[in-house]
Structure formats: structure tokens, C-alpha cells
Amino acid sequence: MRLAVVGALLAACTYLVGRVTLAVSAIVPDLSAATGMPEPVVRGELLTGTLLPLIEDPRWHLLATPHSGSSLDVLHTVGTSLAVLGVCLLVTDRLGALAAPVVGAGAMPLTLYVGHLVVLHLWRDDDGPLNSPEVSGPVIMVLLTVLALAGGLLKHALGRRGPLEAVTHAAGAAAAGPRPA
């Protein structure tokens, strides 16, 4: 519970600092003048993380612009991650075996990440088997969710690592050599 609360507080504080910085500083007009983009566009870009110019202005570190790598962005990401992890731990503790598909999926992130990239390639590629008008974004989202939960349930039932997690573990163990006695 403490993890979720600390994470939520950190996320809320960083969000507030970022919004106040946007509201009271002149960073939006300054970036607008530097880039030639209208101020509403610059503000929107800074809120969504799509405009990532190289900014040497110290105010940049007070913006929680997603994916910018600014100090506040990193702290905000840590806060939201802690909050999500805390809530997930609370929920899975109470659900027990019902949470097995989610717990199993959470234990094989590399496999699921690579798997979702393969599915997206099969969907986006012009010659891909999933590239058809019937297969929309929501259909792909449902497919990825079902596959992740099914894989998580299988992983939980087998009591083993995910396939790519097993490969990286074996490579790491081989590189490390035998454990000292």
C-alpha cells in the first residue's frame, strides 16, 4: 500500500510542477519564437512528448514532457511506475490464483515485448497475414491482450521462465560460470 501511495504522490507532484512551469514560465513563447510554431502547437507538443528539441534552457528540467528524459519526466515515470506496481501487488495478493494469467504475463516481459513486435509487423507489413481491412487497431489490441494472458497462464501452469527469459538466463549463467562454493 505504501508503494502505491508514494508513487501516486510523486507522480502528482511532478505533474503539478510540470503544469505550473508551463503556465507561469515563458518557455512556450520562447520555444514558439525559436521554432516558428504557434504557441498552442508548442504547448500541445510539450504535453504529449512529440516535440523533443534540444533545449539548453534550465526550465526544460521542470517540464514533465513524456519521453524527454528531463529530470521531471524521469521522476514522473518513476512515480507512476511505483503507483502501478503498488496497485498490482495489492490486487494480485487479494485475487490469488485468479491473477495467475496476469502474474505469469508480468514474469515474462521480454517474451511479450518481442512477441508484440512480431504481431505488429505481421499486421503492418503490406504482405503480412494480419494485414486486412477486418483487422483493425482494436482487434489487434484484443489479440495481443488475449495472447499475453494465455501465455501468462501457460507460463504459470508450467512454473518456468518465459522463452526469451530462459534464453537470457542461460546466456548469463554461462557467461558467469559456475557459482563459487
- Please list, residue by residue across 98-120, b when 16 or more beta carbons sit within 10 angstroms of its beta carbon and e when fewer do: ebbbbbbbbbbeebbeebeeebe
Cα end-to-end span (Å), the chain: 39
Q: Report CA Rg, the chain.
A: 22
Say what the pTM is.
0.65
Residue-by-residue pLDDT tens, the chain, 181 positions: 899 999 999 999 999 998 898 889 888 898 888 888 898 988 888 888 766 555 677 887 888 888 778 889 999 999 999 999 999 889 888 998 899 999 999 999 999 999 999 999 998 888 888 888 888 889 899 999 999 999 999 999 999 999 999 999 999 999 998 888 8
